[in-house]
């Protein structure tokens, strides 16, 4: 996947999650609707200013956009990033620390983890 395609997926996902129309986003970012459509299709290489405006308008994580694996996992991380923004920094730290603790336990108890996943229909 190219960086253009990845950027397009992130922009479309964030726009749709927030319920914004393409026209609204294009107007807010001060670009033509056709340009936004091309960005979302992965057929345009937006300039720095446009990327900056999209990141801020749609609450896209710059770190995920530029450094995460360009996959479904990366899209999921960006989705979760927007969900975490509703919490305070202390709450985010608590969530992260708890998740890391549980994940560490699961990795040292793979059989119990697999049993848990199967029992709860998560795999």
| Mean confidence (pLDDT) of the chain | 93
pLDDT of residue 121: 74
pLDDT of residue 123: 64
Percent of the chain with pLDDT over 70: 98
Domain borders along the chain are 3-86, 87-123
pLDDT of residue 90: 97
3-86 carries CATH number 1.10.260.40 = yes
List the Cα angle 57/35/63 in 5-degree steps.
40
List the Cα angle 16/1/54 in 5-degree steps.
35
pLDDT of residue 110: 81
pLDDT of residue 120: 75
Concatenate the DSSP letters of all residues of 18-45 into one string.
TT--HHHHHHHHT--HHHHHHHHTT---
The string of pLDDT tens digits covering residues 56-110 is 999 999 999 999 999 999 999 999 999 999 999 999 999 999 989 988 888 888 8
pLDDT of residue 98: 92
> Which burial class, exposed, middle or buried, applies to 28 when counting CB atoms under 10 A from its CB (0-12, 13-18, 19+)?
middle
Confidence band (pLDDT; 50, 70, 90) for 122?
low
DSSP at 121: T
Percent of the chain with pLDDT over 90: 76
DSSP at 61: -
Reading the block at residue 74, the tokens are 């990366």
């Amino acid at each position: 996947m190219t960086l253009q395609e990845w950027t397009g997926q992130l922009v479309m996902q964030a726009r749709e999650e927030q319920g914004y129309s393409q026209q609204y986003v294009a107007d807010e970012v001060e670009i033509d609707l056709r340009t936004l459509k091309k960005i979302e299709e992965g057929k345009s290489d937006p300039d720095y200013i446009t990327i900056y405006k999209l990141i801020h308008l749609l609450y896209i994580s710059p770190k995920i956009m530029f450094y995460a694996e360009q996959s479904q996992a990366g899209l999921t991380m960006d989705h979760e990033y927007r969900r975490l923004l509703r919490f305070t920094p202390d709450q985010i730290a608590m969530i992260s620390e708890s998740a890391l603790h549980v994940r560490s336990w699961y990795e040292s108890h793979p059989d119990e983890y697999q049993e848990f996943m199967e029992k709860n229909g998560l795999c």
